[in-house]
């Protein structure tokens, strides 16, 4: 295996581990924030964090076992990664609009980078046709 292939696989493994860490962090943080949420905005932020945790798992699962669902899971993950990042700066403590905008931009860039590192979804390989059942055979 050459160095480029090794680096690509290592980057991919790091991206998968990062997404799984985000799943844990978002799920636990969302559950904790949901207990302490007093306003509608705080509840929405906590629910978006929970959704991000679930979609993080969905991103990894669809990457390997259900490639057709990969795109919606990835788009949903990127949205639920960025939305609570911006919303948290507005609903927990004094509102900080500039901080919220910067949080969303950084979260989208991180999400895009991680999704790039994950690579495209693995397409299911068609099963080879058996000889005599529609397979092309030499004359």
Q: What is the pLDDT of residues 71-130, one digit of tens each?
A: 889 999 999 999 999 999 999 888 889 999 999 999 999 999 999 888 875 554 454 555
Quick check: is 77 in a domain?
yes
Q: Can you list the positions of beta strands (E) in the chain?
A: none
Whole-angstrom distance, CA of residue 20 vs CA of residue 96: 29
Quick check: is 133 in a domain?
no
pLDDT tens digits, residue range 34-52? 999 899 999 999 999 999 9
**How sure is the predictor about 136, in pLDDT bands with cuts at 50, 70 and 90?**
very low
Quick check: is 134 in a domain?
no
Q: For residue 48, what are the domain limits?
A: 8-118
Query: What pLDDT, on the 0 to 100 scale, is given for residue 135?
Result: 47
Quick check: is 125 in a domain?
no
Quick check: is 139 in a domain?
no
Give pTM, 2 decimals: 0.78
Query: What pLDDT, on the 0 to 100 scale, is given for residue 81?
Result: 93
Whether 86 and 101 have beta carbons less than 8 Å apart is answered as yes
CA angle 95–96–98, rounded 5-degree value:
150
* Total number of domains in the chain: 1
């Amino acid at each position: 295996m050459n160095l480029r292939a090794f680096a690509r696989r290592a980057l991919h493994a790091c991206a998968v581990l990062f997404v799984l860490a985000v799943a844990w962090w978002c799920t636990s943080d969302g559950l904790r924030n949901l207990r302490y949420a007093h306003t509608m905005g705080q509840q929405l932020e906590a629910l978006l964090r929970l959704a991000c945790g679930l979609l993080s798992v969905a991103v990894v699962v669809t990457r390997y076992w259900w490639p057709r669902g990969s795109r919606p899971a990835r788009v949903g993950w990127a949205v639920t990664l960025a939305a609570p990042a911006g919303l948290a700066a507005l609903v927990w403590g004094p509102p900080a609009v500039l901080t919220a905008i910067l949080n969303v931009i950084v979260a989208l860039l991180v999400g895009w980078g991680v999704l790039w590192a994950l690579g495209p979804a693995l397409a299911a390989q068609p099963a080879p046709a058996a000889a005599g059942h529609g397979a092309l055979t030499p004359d």
